[in-house]
Structure 1
Amino acid sequence: MLSLRQLEVFLAVIETGSTTRAADAVALSQSAASNALTELESRLGEKLFDRVGKRLVLNASGRALQPRARALLAQARDAESLFRSGGGQLKLGASTTIGNYLLPRLLGAAQEPLPCERIEIANTDDIAERMLRFELDLGLVEGQTRHPDLVLTPWRRDEMVIVAAPFLPGEPLHCLPWIMREPGSGTRSVVEQELSEVLTGVVPLLELGSSEAIHNAVRAGLGISCLSRHVVQQSLHNGELEVRAPELSIRRPLYLLRHRQRPDTAAVARFLAMCPPEN
């Protein structure tokens, strides 16, 4: 029977390229790590690595095993945390608009504290990559991801509006300087898709890594942007910003992101009870 230790060594060899460095990573002797890998390959009847010089390189059989090994180790860690902490701690990933604006409001309004081990805030592509490595239990994202091992389900809805400082000239939208999120951001992909006709031929004046940075740049009059109402609602209320072309507002879904091979933990279930999907 396969052991978790064998799978742990296998994944460490993928990361480090050798059994010597893998042994250090998993706190084993070099001989114990080599034996674990040999036993795993013997049990499976397949070589999992090709030797290239002094380095072990994952082959097709190893690539087939890799996601399953990660899933099994993640489930073992989930089982341990279930009994250590009364149901486990949630490792949550949120794309930037959700993590910086919507999620704090939802958690602040909740009737009980959510036992989060950590909340990672990054763009959609980064959250998807962390989910594929089984480093997060659940993702909350604004953009789409099409990896076959990841599953998107609708969670909430958001409205995005084109905003500008009131003193910015009222020229056609394509003639004004645009400020946009970086490539890989869910916000950026939605804006480019939904406003493709407006943005034809437009080269962004600035590409910034956070919605708040764009918000501040637009308030300073550097250009226009399309941002979530969650980001700009206070600035719209106090007159620092105004909506341009309200007919072009974008209504977009926000998603729950799960790994297909990883069942919901008890902590995920508690989060969804506190912050359930909208009907």
Structure 2
Amino acid sequence: MLSLRQLEVFLAVIETGSTTAAAHAVALSQSAASNALTELENRLGEKLFDRVGKRLLLNASGRALQSRARILLAQAREAETLFQQGGGRLKVGASTTIGNYLLPRLLGKSAAELPCERIEIANTDDIAERMLRFELDLGLIEGRTLHPDLVMTPWRQDEMVIVAVPGFSGRTLAQLPWIMREVGSGTRSVVERELLDTLGNIQPVLELGSSEAIHNAVRAGIGVSCLSRHVVEQSLQTGELQVLAPDHAIRRQLYLLRHRQRPDTAAVARFLALCPPDQAEALDRA
């Protein structure tokens, strides 16, 4: 019978390329890791890697096993916490605007114990990749991902507005100095899809890795940007920033991301009870 330890070593070898490095990753001796991989291949009657020098390269048989091995290990970890905290604890990946602004407010409204073990903030592409590796239980994203193993469902809506310091005008929007998120972020993809067709070829003067960093750069008068109202609401209320061209505001959908082969657990149900999809309101600005 296959063992979880064998599958753990198998996945570690994929990540590291050798049984020596995999042994270190899973806290085994090199010989124990090598034996576990050999036993797995013998049990399956297939070689899972091609040996190229000192490197082990995943072959077609290994690729066929890879996703199933990840699912089995993820289910085993869930089983370990099945009777704790009402069904386990979640590792949630959230895009920056959601993780820094929206999600803390939603969770803060609840007096119940939070179902999240950890909230990791990253851009949409990174969250999708980690979901595929079963390192995250749920994703909350601002962009879109088209991988067939990932399922997006509408969760909340957001409004993005073009902002600048007062008096920052006099030229067309396309001629202004733009500050943008990095490629791969949900915010960047939405701006490119919704604004570039109407404004023309915007050339960013600066790219930054978080909405908060862009917010600060805009407040410093470096340029203009299109940001979520969740990010800039306070600066708009104080008059530190103004909305440019309100007719170019963007309504965007925020999504809940699940893995197609991973059924919802009780912990997922508790999370969705605390942070449900929008129904009556399009925006949550509490």
Q: Output the TM-score relative to the length of structure 2.
A: 0.93
My pick for the range that moved more, 15-24 or 147-156, is 15-24
For residues 90 and 179 of structure 1, the distance between their equivalents in structure 2, rounded to whole angstroms, comes to 34
Q: Answer with 227-236 or 169-178: which moved more.
A: 169-178
How many Å separate the matches in 1 of 2:20 and 2:169? 64
Distance 1:202 1:59, change over 3 A: same
What is the rounded CA distance, in whole Å, between the counterparts of 1:103 and 1:84 in structure 2?
23
Q: In structure 1, what is the Cα distance between the partners aligned to 2:27 and 2:180? A: 45
Q: 2:121 is matched by which residue type in structure 1? A: I
Between the aligned partners of 1:182 and 1:250, the Cα distance in structure 2 is 19
Q: Which residue of 2 aligns with 1:100?
A: 100
The structural deviation recorded for 1:237 is 1.1
Is 1:35 paired with 2:35? yes
Identity of aligned residues (%): 81
- 1:212 correspondence with 2:212: yes
Contact 1:107 1:113 in 2 (8 A): no
User: Which stretch shifts more, 156-165 or 259-268?
Assistant: 259-268
How far is the alpha carbon of 1:230 from its aligned partner? 0.6
CA-to-partner distance for each residue in 1:150-199, whole Å, 9 max, x for gaps? Answer: 11110000011111111212321111111111111100000000012344
| Structure 2 residue runs without a partner (length 5+) | 280-286
Partner of 1:139: 139
In structure 1, the partner of 2:282 is none
Deviations 1:47-83 (A, max 9, x none): 1001001221111111121111011101100110223
Q: CA RMSD in A?
A: 1.5
- Whole-Å Cα distance in 2 between the matches of residues 17 and 174 of structure 1? 47
* Cα distance in 2 for residues equivalent to 1:27 and 1:217: 45
**Does the aligned pair in 2 maintain the 1:167–1:221 contact within 8 Å?**
no
Contact 2:174–2:199, Cα closer than 8 Å, also in 1: yes
Residue number in structure 2 paired with 1:163? 163
Aligned to 2:90: 90
Deviations 1:77-125 (A, max 9, x none): 0110223444211111100000011011111112323132111011111
Establish whether residue 54 from structure 1 lines up as the match of residue 92 from structure 2. Answer: no
What SS does structure 1 have at the residue aligned with 2:82?
A: helix
Q: TM-score, normalised by structure 1?
A: 0.95
State how far apart, in whole Å, the 1-side matches of 2:212 and 2:21 are.
41
Moved more, 1-10 or 250-259: 1-10
Offset, 1:147? 1.2
Q: Which amino acid in the other structure matches residue 140 of structure 1?
A: L
The structural deviation recorded for 1:266 is 1.9
How many angstroms apart in 1 are the aligned matches of 2:28 and 2:21? 10
Partner residue, 1:110:
110
Partner residue in 2 for 1:269: 269
User: Given that residues 47 and 61 in structure 1 are in contact (C-alpha distance below 8 angstroms), is that contact kept between their aligned partners in structure 2?
Assistant: yes
The separation in 1 between residues aligned to 2:244 and 2:169, in whole angstroms, is 11
